[in-house]
Amino acid sequence: ETGVTQTPRHLVMGMTNKKSLKCEQHLGHNAMYWYKQSAKKPLELMFVYNFKEQTENNSVPSRFSPECPNSSHLFLHLHTLQPEDSALYLCASATYSGSNEQFFGPGTRLTVL
């Protein structure tokens, strides 16, 4: 396992539920990312945070709400999701300089019923 952890690893929720995904990195990085990985589609970048500031919102619907309280933690708050939001959600971290080698967490497998 790398220094990026994600919880929970699996999540099943109804369309009216509110849940949160958590990501934590222990690598001293200052950039954190949320990606969505759906079957047969490229990884989709959702959000980028550099030094706790959101620098990228890749046209993500408002039912996904990110939060980055510090450089080590990143959350993705979910509410009123749709079945098509079912996917693997990956968190990554990197140093905001140099080669931008990103270190990924194991992902949260989300199923929306």
Partner 1 sequence: AQTVTQSQPEMSVQEAETVTLSCTYDTSESDYYLFWYKQPPSRQMILVIRQEAYKQQNATENRFSVNFQKAAKSFSLKISDSQLGDAAMYFCAYWFIQGAQKLVFGQGTRLTINP
| Sign for the pseudo-dihedral over CA of 22, 13, 62, 42 | positive
| 13 lies in the binding site for partner 1 (CB under 8 A) | no
Sign (positive/negative) of CA torsion 87, 93, 97, 100? negative
Sign, CA torsion 39/107/69/77 = positive
105 lies in the binding site for partner 1 (CB under 8 A): yes
Q: Would you give the binding string for partner 1 spanning residues 47-76, x where CB under 8 A is met?
A: -x-x----xx--------------------
Interaction site with partner 1 (CB under 8 A): 1-2, 4, 31, 33, 40-43, 45, 48, 50, 55-56, 90, 92, 94, 96, 99-107
